[in-house]
């Protein structure tokens, strides 16, 4: 590591002001991506502005079918929230499968989606749920928020404040985890709305990050059953090949995880 200035913000306005005063400041949420990046000298901010002291950014609220989750809510808090487990159980399952207990008690939902790691779990959940990402400046639909590998629609200095969505009629999530990191080698989140329309998002497989699968959405909108997945063609084009598995294997995993997600729902 190296010398830097540490600041603990007390409000969003305070965080914005502290970052503006720094030569190269970065916001710190759970630190599960930023701190390892700094340790490997791949990032060297002059200042870290810690957002954990801003109470308004944490917590889960469920009002009828409307769910709002503060950006600084930890994975453990999402996984353990009883109201959320009733409204959208698949999201609590998703959060409970992230990393290990240490990661889940430090990492935050806002930090995860701001990083948009191609193997992260939350991007698939929020994309399938048709969620809205709220910042200190605007509201961004999930379909427009995740723009590519480690890339989002966030502008420089913009802070995620919360995530909101309408709880679906049914939803499920299943992933094939890397046995070491617990990151998704492939994960599929399927959500069926009250109107019967289905959204399916895939993480850990796309070369450009999280994406929706139209073929699975069409098949499951017509027949919400695990068996409906069998007739869907999933191409390996555009999928990742790495040391863990190739694109063809990931294409097969997409169908397998989609079946499990619907069965879990």
- pLDDT tens digits for 56-67? 999 999 999 999
Considering only residues 32 and 220, tell me which one the structure prediction assigns the higher pLDDT.
Answer: 220
- 1: pLDDT confidence band, cut at 50, 70 and 90? low
pLDDT tens digits for 82-91? 999 999 999 9
The b/e string for 208-226 (b: 16+ C-beta within 10 A; e otherwise) is: ebbbebebbbebbbeebeb
Residue spans in the chain of domains classed CATH 3.30.43.10 = 5-50
For 228, the token pair is 């409906």
What proportion of the chain, given as a percentage, has pLDDT over 70?
100
How do residues 87-105 score in pLDDT, each as one tens digit? 999 999 999 999 999 999 9
Query: Domain 5-50 adopts which CATH fold?
Result: 3.30.43
Question: Could you tell me the fold of the domain covering 55-166?
Answer: 3.30.465
Q: How far apart are CA 29 and CA 154, in angstroms?
A: 15
Specify the domain boundaries for CATH 3.30.465.10 within the chain: 55-166
Domain with CATH 3.30.390.50 in the chain: 170-264
To the nearest 10°, report the CA torsion of 169, 110, 164, 172: 0
Rounded mean pLDDT, 204-215:
97
What is 170-264's CATH number? 3.30.390.50
Mark out the alpha helices in the chain (DSSP H runs).
12-21, 34-39, 75-79, 82-87, 89-96, 101-106, 109-115, 122-128, 142-145, 214-222, 247-264
pLDDT digits (tens, 9 = 90+) for 142-191: 999 999 999 999 999 999 999 999 999 999 999 999 988 889 999 999 99
Residue 33: its pLDDT value, please? 86
φ and ψ of 239, to 5 deg: -95, 160
The C-alpha atoms of residue 230 and residue 125 are separated, in whole angstroms, by: 22
Please list, in sequence order, all residues whose beta carbon lies within 8 angstroms of the beta carbon of residue 67, skipping any fewer than 6 positions away: 60, 61, 84, 87, 88, 164, 165, 166, 167
Q: Examine the pLDDT at 2 and tell me if it is beyond 80.
A: no
């Amino acid at each position: 590591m190296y010398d830097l200035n540490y600041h603990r913000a007390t409000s969003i306005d305070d965080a914005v002001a502290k970052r503006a005063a720094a030569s190269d400041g970065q916001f710190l949420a759970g630190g599960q991506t930023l701190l390892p990046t700094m340790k490997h000298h791949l990032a060297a901010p002059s200042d870290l502005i810690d957002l954990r002291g801003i109470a308004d950014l944490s917590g889960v609220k469920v009002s009828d079918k409307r769910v709002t989750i503060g950006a600084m809510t930890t994975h453990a808090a999402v996984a353990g929230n009883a109201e959320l487990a009733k409204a959208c159980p698949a999201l609590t399952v998703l959060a409970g499968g992230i990393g290990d207990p240490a990661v889940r008690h430090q990492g935050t939902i806002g930090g995860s989606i701001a990083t948009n790691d191609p193997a992260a779990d939350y991007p698939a959940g929020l994309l399938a749920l048709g969620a809205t990402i709220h910042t200190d400046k605007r509201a961004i639909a999930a379909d427009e928020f995740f723009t590519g590998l480690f890339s989002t629609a966030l502008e420089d200095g913009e802070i995620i404040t919360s995530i909101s969505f309408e709880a679906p009629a049914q939803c499920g999530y299943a992933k094939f985890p890397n046995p070491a990191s617990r990151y998704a080698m492939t994960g599929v989140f399927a959500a069926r709305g009250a109107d019967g329309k289905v959204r399916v998002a895939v993480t850990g497989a796309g070369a450009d990050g999280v994406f929706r699968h139209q073929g699975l959405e069409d098949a499951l909108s017509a027949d919400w059953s695990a068996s409906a997945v069998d007739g869907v063609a999933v191409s390996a084009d555009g999928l990742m090949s790495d040391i863990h598995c190739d694109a063809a294997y990931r294409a097969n995993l997409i169908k397998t995880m989609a079946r499990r997600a619907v069965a879990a729902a």
